Structure 1
C-alpha cells in the first residue's frame, strides 16, 4: 500500500514539474524537450531481475572513454551529421552504465591479459599473465599449477550452456585467450619457455612445468572438454606446424609438429578459413566451430575485402545463431581487437573505422536477442594515450584540423585554429607514439630535436596518416584511466557508479545464478 502511494506521489510530482516547465522561456527549445524525454525514459526504466539465460560481453580493446568519444563523432560525421550529438547503439537511456577502474594488481597502466582475466574470473591479476592468482609470477610456468583460477566459461559450461569467442585479433591473443586459457605469459601462443632459459629443450621444460601448455593448445583442449563450442578470429599460424603451408599461403609456427586444426577436425569440429567457407558452416549447434580467418590478426575494417573474411558484425551474427540453439543458453565474448592495434600505431583512421564496425556488432547482438533473458555488456579492457585538442568548433572532422568556433552559427568557421608556432593542429593526437614531433639525435649528438611539421586537412584525414604525438615511442602505449561499461538485460542495473574491473564478472555470475540465490 505504501509503495502504491509513493508511486502515485512521484507521478503527481513529475506531472506538476512538467506543467511548471512549460512556463519557462526555454521550454520550446529542442534541447529542453529532448532533456525532458531523456529524464522520462530513465524514470520509466525498471530493473530486470530475471535470471540471465545468455550473457554477451562485447569488448572493444583499447576503447576507453576518449576513444569511444572519437568513434561517436566519426560515426555521426560519416552519416552526414556534425558528430557531437550522435548516439552509438549502446549510449541510449535504456542502457545502464558505470565507470571501470582498469589497473592490474602490480601495474597502474594495465595490460589486456589481466584486464580480460579480471572480467572472466572476478579477481584482478598480474601484468602479462592470464587467469592466474596473485601469487603467480609473470613468465614463470612453475607458478601456474598452484594459481589457476576458474573462468566464467567453465562455470556456465558446467550449467550446460554453450560458450563462444569472436575476435578480430588472433584467438590466442590476450583478450580472447582469457575466456579459456591459464598461463604465466600471454605471449606463449604456440610455445612455452622454461624460466630463465629461452632456448630450453622440450624435455627440460616438461620436467619443470609438466602441466603447462601453450595458449593455442589450450583452446583445442577446451573444445575437446566441451568448454568452448565456437571460436572465430585470426591466429592460424599458431595452430599449424613449422614448415606447413597455411590456407592462404603462409606458414605455421608450431615447433612441436602438432597440427591443431587437424586435431580439432578429428574431434568433430567444423573448420572455416575465409568468408566462403564460413558461409558453408552448419550453425545448428551439432558440432564445434573453429574459424581462423588470418595467419595473424584479421584485417582492419578499412582494409577488409568482403569476399576474403567476414566483418565483426557478421561473425557476431553467426556466433549468436549457432550458440542460441542451446536451450540452456550461452556465454559469448566478442572482441574488436584491432581498435587497440590502430591506437598503438597512432593511426586514428583505422582506430575509428574498427570502432564503427564494433558499434555495428553491438547493434546486431542487441537486435538478435531478447532483453528479458540476455545480459549484454559493452566495455573496454583499457584506454590509450589518446588526447584531444581545443578549442574546436562544432563539426570539426574528428580526423582533421581543429577549426575555430563560429560566433554566429552552429557549425565551425572555415578558419583552422593556430598554435603558438603559427601552424594548425588536429583535433585528435597522442601523448606518445611513432608520430612524435621529436627527432632522434644525429650521429654524434645526444639531444632530441625537432619542430612540429605543418599539416593540412587533406593530410590529416588520409587513412594512413599517423597523428602527431609528443613522446617518441616505437608503439603508442595504453593509459591507466577509467573505461566505461554499458549494459542491458537481467541485472544490468548493478552497473552503477565507479567499479573495479573484476566486478563485471560478479554481475555476470549473479545474473546467471539469480534463481539459485533466490532459492537460498
Structure 2
C-alpha cells in the first residue's frame, strides 16, 4: 500500500489546529516555535503551484557561494539585526525548490567558473578554463574551437524572441558572465591584449569583441535566424573594450592608461554605432538617468576592472549602482517584451573576497546578492517567473570549533557555558571561520577592500590573535597552507528555486541540469 504523505501531513495539521494533539503530542511540543514553523513550511510546499512553464527566468549565481558561505551569511545577517543569527534564513532559502549540485569539471575534481558556468548555460560539462565549448577542446588552442561550440540558454532565448540580459559585479568578460554568450579556448582571452599571437593569427576573437558583436555572430552560426542581440549588459571590465590609449580613459580610470586593447578599436563606440537605440553608461549618474520604460537596450560598464566591493561602492569616484539596483533596472527594461525574458545576474565578488581570505568581505557580498534577489521577487509575477539561485563552486572556507549559540560568526570561538575565548592546544585563541589555504592572517583593521591583502606577504599558519579584533572588515582569517590565493573547493553547492518549474529542483544533480531546468520552463528547444 502506497503511503499518502500529503494526506498524513494534512491530517496532522488538522489534528493540531483542532486541539486533538493532546492525545498524540504534549502541548509543549505542539506549541513549540520549532514545531509550528516546520509544520507551516510543509503546508506551504503542499500549496506549490504545479505550473511548470514560465514566461521569464532569472538565474542568480553567487560566485564561490558554497554552503558554508550561506550558513555564515545567514548567521551574519541575523547578528547584524541584533539577533542570535542561527535561526534566520537568507531570502532564497525559503524558496520551495532545493537541490545539491555536483560541481566537478570533466578534467578536474575541484572546478573553476568557466567550466561550471558553461555546464549551467549549455547542459554539458566541460574542462577547466574554457568557455562555451565542449570537452573535446584543448585549452589555449584556438584551432579546436570550431566544431565544439555549445549553444547556451541565453542564445536559445534570443532565437525564441525573448529579451536577454547579463549582469555582473565582476568584469562582464569574466568567466561566469562570458559563458552566457562567448566561445573561447581560454577564459583569460578577455581582450586581444590577453591573447597569444598564434590565436589572433588563427582567427580567434576575444571575449569583449564577442559580446559586442554577439548578434551577428549568432546569426552567422545558424541559417535563417534573426535575433536582436543582448538587450541589457551591465558590469565592470571597461578596459577590455577600450584601446590602449589614455585619450580613451574614463573619469574613474585607475590606471594611467585604462584600455587594454592592442587593435586600437573602441568597442563601446562600435556598440553605439550598431545600436542607435542603445544607451551606454559608465557611472551612477548615467544609471540613474536611464528611463526603463523608454529604454530598449542598455550597456553599462562601471569600472575599469571588477566593480567595487559592496563595502567600497561609496568610495568610487564616479559612483556605481549596487547589484540590487542593476537587477531592478534590468528587469524593468526586459519586461517590456511581452514574450518574456532570460536574465543572468552574477555576484562575482563573493569569490574574490574568499580568494583574498577575507570572510567579512565574502559575507557582505552575499548579503548584497540577497538584496538583489529580494528585488527580483518584488518586481516579478511569481506565477510566471522562475527564479533560480545557485553558485558555481564553493571555497575552502570552514565553520569550526564549538562556539556557543549567538557567538559572533566573525569572532573567536567561545564555548558553550564560557565567557572567554577558548584556546587551542597551542594556548592561543582561534576563530570560528577560517580557510584551509591562502594568504593567511592579516589585520587590516577597517580596510574594506579585500584585495588590499595582496600588497602584504603570505602569512599562513597559527598566529596569536589574543589582542586582535577579528570582527573588523579588514581581518583576514588564518590559513593552514600558504598560497598566494585561496582556492575553490570541490564539494557540492546548493540550488534554490521558486516559480514555475521549481518543483523539479530536488535531490543531488549534475550542474548541467540547471540548463535543462531553464529549458523546461521556457521551452527553449521547442518549435
Same fold (TM over 0.5): yes
1: distance between equivalents of 2:336 and 2:284? 22
The equivalent position to 2:474 in structure 1, one of 442, 445, 464, is 464
1:96-121 CA-to-partner distances (Å, cap 9, x unmatched) read 10000000000000000111111110
Task: Note the aligned Cα RMSD (angstroms).
Answer: 2.4
Task: Give the distance between the partners of 1:288 and 1:315, measured in 2 at CA.
Answer: 14
TM-score of the superposed pair, with normalisation by structure 1 = 0.89
**Does 1:373 find its partner at 2:381?**
no
* Structure 2 match to 1:418: 423
Alignment of 1:35-434 (within 5 A): 35-49=38-52, 51-92=53-94, 94-191=95-192, 198=196, 200=197, 205=199, 207=201, 209-210=202-203, 212-222=204-214, 226-244=228-246, 245-247=248-250, 248-249=252-253, 250=255, 251-267=258-274, 268=276, 269-284=278-293, 286-305=295-314, 308-406=319-417, 413-434=418-439
Which of 495, 499, 506 is the equivalent residue of 2:509?
A: 499
The DSSP-based 3-state class of the residue aligned with 2:85 is coil
1:15: which partner in 2? 14
CA separation of 1:125 and 1:455: change in aligned 2, threshold 3 A: same
Distance in 2, matches of 1:348 and 1:11, equals 43
Asked if 2 retains the 8 angstrom alpha-carbon contact of 1:336 and 1:358, the reply is yes
What is the TM-score with the length of structure 2 in the denominator?
0.87
Q: Distance in 2 between matches of 1:63 and 1:55?
A: 20
Per-residue displacement from partner, 1:113-163 (whole Å, max 9, x unpaired)? 111111110000111000101111111111001101111111111111011
Q: Is the 8 A contact 1:170 1:298 kept in 2?
A: yes
State the alpha-carbon separation in 2 of the partners of residues 73 and 324 from structure 1.
34
Find the residue that maps to 1:394 and give its secondary structure.
Answer: coil
Partner of 1:342: helix, strand, or coil?
helix
Counterpart Cα distance in 2 of 1:487 and 1:89 = 11
- Equivalents in 2 of 1:169, 1:14: separation in Å? 47
Taking the aligned partners of 1:449 and 1:70, their CA distance within structure 2 comes to 24
* Aligned-partner SS, 1:132: coil
**How far apart are residue 452 of structure 1 and its match?**
2.0
Per-residue deviation at 1:253?
0.4
Distance 1:458 1:48, change over 3 A: farther
Q: CA offsets per residue over residues 148-195 of structure 1, 9 Å max, x none?
A: 11111111111110110110000000001111001010000002777x
CA contact (8 A) 1:246 1:295 kept: no
| Unaligned ranges ≥5, structure 1 | 407-412, 438-447
- SS of 2:168's partner is strand
Contact 1:154 1:227 (C-alpha < 8 Å) held by counterparts: no
The alpha carbon displacement at 1:389 in A equals: 1.5
Partner of 2:454: none
Distance 1:171 1:138 in 2: 21
Unaligned runs of 5+ in 2: 217-226, 443-457
* 1:68 Cα deviation after fit: 1.0
SS of the equivalent of 1:369 reads coil
How far apart in 1 are the matches of 2:152 and 2:313?
33
1:483 paired residue number: 493
Counterpart Cα distance in 2 of 1:6 and 1:32? 18
What is the SS of the residue equivalent to 1:460?
coil
Count of matched residue positions in the alignment of Structure 1 and Structure 2: 487
The answer to whether the 8 Å contact 2:461/2:481 transfers is no
Secondary structure of 1:238's match? helix
Question: Take 1:218 and 1:515, find their aligned partners in 2: how far apart are those partners?
Answer: 23
**Conserved 8 A contact 1:64-1:483:** yes
Cα 1:11–1:29 change in 2 (3 A) is: closer
Q: Distance in 1 between matches of 2:297 and 2:524?
A: 28
Residue 449 (structure 1) shift: 11
For 1:314 and 1:205, the matched residues in 2 are separated by 38
2:38 is aligned with 1:29: no
Distance 1:287 1:40, change over 3 A: closer
Cα gap change, 1:77 to 1:266, in 2 (>3 Å): same
- Residues 364-412 of structure 1 show CA distances to partners (whole Å, capped at 9, x for unaligned) of 0011111111010000000001012210001111111111113xxxxxx
> What is residue 442 of structure 1 aligned with on the other side?
none
- On the 8 A contact 1:193/1:205 being kept in 2, the answer is no
What CA distance in whole angstroms lies between the structure 2 residues aligned with 1:496 and 1:190?
39
Q: Deviations over 1:54-84 (max 9, x none)?
A: 1000001000111111111111111111111
Alpha carbons of structure 1 residues 469 and 374: separation in structure 2 relative to 1, 3 Å: same
Question: Given the superposition, is the C-alpha separation of residues 9 and 298 from structure 1 closer, same or farther in structure 2, using an over 3 Å criterion?
Answer: closer
The change in CA–CA distance for 1:456 and 1:263 in structure 2 (over 3 A counts) is farther
Post-superposition CA distance 1:228-278 (Å, at most 9, x none): 111100000000000233212342000111100111111222111110011
Partners of 1:192 and 1:502 in 2: CA distance: 32
